[in-house]
Structure 1
Amino acid sequence: MESASADKVVVIDQSAAAVAERVADRFLARVKARTRNGRIAHVALTGGSMGGVVLQAVAQHPKASQTDWSLVHFWWGDERFVPSDDTDRNAVQARNALLDHIDVPAENVHEIAAADSGLSLDEAATAYSDELARFGADGEAWPSFAVCFLGVGADGHIASLFPDRAEVTVTDAAALAVRDSPKPPPERVTLTRPVINSSKRVWLVLTGADKASALGLALAGASYTNVPAAGAKGRKRTVFFVDEAAASEVPEDLIDQSY
């Protein structure tokens, strides 16, 4: 096992709703700070139940209407390769929860191609890599996300990087096609670890007792090939926003309620 990273911190709230409210507040504050002088904020979204709850909390937050969304670009950490109107798509979830309720320019929303787009799965991954490269920063072929949101599965997966699979070890591509995913639907497109870890801040949001083991292993420095969440690391901060049910295995020295 690798040693646990000292810059990983955990913020604990009583319930999933409280977690979402805290994350929404911190997110809008971070976007405001990033865009204050007209700078662009690139944000990578996640799917899953908590991903939607967080985005709903952002949409309902009083600060949302005070945010200059023209300076924010939205991306996704992964996407299910299903038809464009399928509710399994993370982009559909994000539009319903937030994007359709804010004044964000269409060109600022960078969806991964859907199964009915006319592109194959491999072509969708290549197209997403090309789109990321258009906004490359810091010498990389992708933007540096101001915030990269990640959900964490009970098995420790993040985005569509699953334990003990080849995708989690790839370092020479920005986006990958995923086939035979252990979690349905079977076909997906995912960002790779180098893209995720070039983010300024990685925020992992997870709730529920079924996530406690994965969280504990991620914080203990488990191998990222076995527990991909253990390998997620922002350049400035790595924060786990969790509820009490998920926090049973969190070391006290990693808890930072002030964040």
Structure 2
Amino acid sequence: MMSARVLRFHSPEELAEGAARQLLARLVEVQRSRGEANLCLTGGRVANSIYQSFAGQVEGSELDPSQLHLWWGDDHYVGLTDPDRNAIQSLSILARTLHLSRAQTHPMPGSDAHADADEAAFSYARELGDTLFDVCLLGMGEDGHVASIFPEHPSMDPTTATVIGVSDAPKPPSDRISLTLNAINRSRSVWLLVTGEAKAESVARALGGDWFLPAARVKGTVETLWFLDAAAASLLPRFNCLL
């Protein structure tokens, strides 16, 4: 991952504000050059903090919500209205200031209308088609997993598919839907959002190219950025981090 760049922030709060500011600027830039922007969202505490900050910055900005499409990198295979779904949490934050039509939001299917996670994944793959994400946001677990792709798990198996059903996930819920590494790595920009000392070892291993970790295998076709707070970056050489 020699092409990856690391952006270091002093605290999770600074990371959330800085990442939101850069995300807004990037989406405006994409809309100026190509018109429509495709953003792939992730779930979790760090991401939700970024969405809170982003939502606060949208009003009065040059972002055109009518030219923005939202996708998701993974989600729990539960009912569509389950509050634990990544899509429910992120949209409940973003919808405060970002007004999107139903056609512009592409949440992963729930368990309500599909026989299993594999069938739901096939449905989402058809909706995704050949869409390329201008920015794909990813969190990372302490074990180095991204989306719902886990180390030493079938979700890491090589595949040409873009979306898979995940069963027996190492963390609950056991049934999930996830983009594959194949789909993530066709994104123009991949941004990894990581905070906390508990993840510092996996951050260092992933940036060191440890192929055992899914996080080491993700990269954008144009750029790969790691947004880290001081704790998550604590095992990296200082000169590798841009403040």
Amino acid at match of 1:244: A
CA distance in 2, matches of 1:117, 1:59: 31
Query: Following TM superposition, by how much is the alpha carbon of 1:70 offset from its aligned partner in structure 2, in angstroms?
Result: 1.1
Q: Separation in 1 of the partners of 2:90 and 2:216?
A: 26
Aligned match of 1:250: 236
Q: Measured at CA, do residues 123 and 175 of structure 1 come closer, stay the same or move farther in structure 2, by a change above 3 Å?
A: same
Q: Is the 8 A contact 2:56 2:97 kept in 1?
A: no
The match for 1:154 among 142, 151, 175 is 142
Q: Which residue of 2 aligns with 1:199?
A: 187
Larger CA deviation: 152-161 vs 118-127: 118-127
Name the TM-score, length of structure 2 as normaliser. 0.95
Shift of 1:251: 2.5
2:169 matches 1:173: no
Contact residue 199 and residue 232 of structure 2 kept, 8 A: yes
Q: State the partner residue of 1:140.
A: none
1:1-259 pair list within 5 angstroms = 5-37=1-33, 39-61=35-57, 65-133=61-129, 136=130, 143-223=131-211, 226-257=212-243
Larger mean CA deviation between 118-127 and 143-152 belongs to 118-127
| Stretch deviating more after TM superposition (98-107 or 44-53) | 98-107
SS of residue matched to 1:101:
coil
Q: CA deviation at 1:120?
A: 2.7
**CA deviation string 1:182-232 (max 9, x = no partner):** 010110000011110111110000101111011000111101xx2110001
In the alignment, the residues of structure 1 paired with residue 33 and residue 227 of structure 2 have an alpha-carbon distance, to the nearest angstrom, of 28
- The SS at the match of 1:53 is helix
Q: 1:138-193: per-residue Cα shift (whole Å, max 9, x none)?
A: xxxxx111100000000000000000112213321010000011010110000011
Structure 1, residues 16-60: CA drift from partner, whole Å, max 9, x if none?
111010010000100000001452111110001111111111001
Counterpart secondary structure, 1:241: strand
The residue type paired with residue 31 of structure 1 is L
Retained in 2: the 8 A contact 1:28–1:64? no
**Percent pairwise identity:** 37
How far is the alpha carbon of 1:84 from its aligned partner? 1.5
1:58–1:64 Cα contact (<8 Å) kept: no
Alignment gaps of 5+ in structure 1: 137-142
Which ranges of structure 2 fall in alignment gaps of 5 or more residues?
Answer: none
Q: Distance in 1 between matches of 2:96 and 2:103?
A: 14
Structure 1: distance between partners of 2:161 and 2:7: 32
The question of whether the paired residues in 2 share the 8 Å contact of 1:8 and 1:254 is answered with no
Aligned mates of 2:136, 2:196 — CA distance in 1 = 21
Q: What is the SS of the residue equivalent to 1:36?
A: helix
* CA–CA separation in structure 1 for the residues paired with 2:235 and 2:43: 24
**Residues 20 and 53, structure 2, Cα contact 8 Å, conserved in 1:** yes
Number of residue equivalences: 243
Q: What CA deviation, in whole Å up to 9, does each residue of 1:86-132 have, x standing for no partner?
A: 12100011111113531222101001111123453221101000001
Cα RMSD for the two superposed structures: 1.4
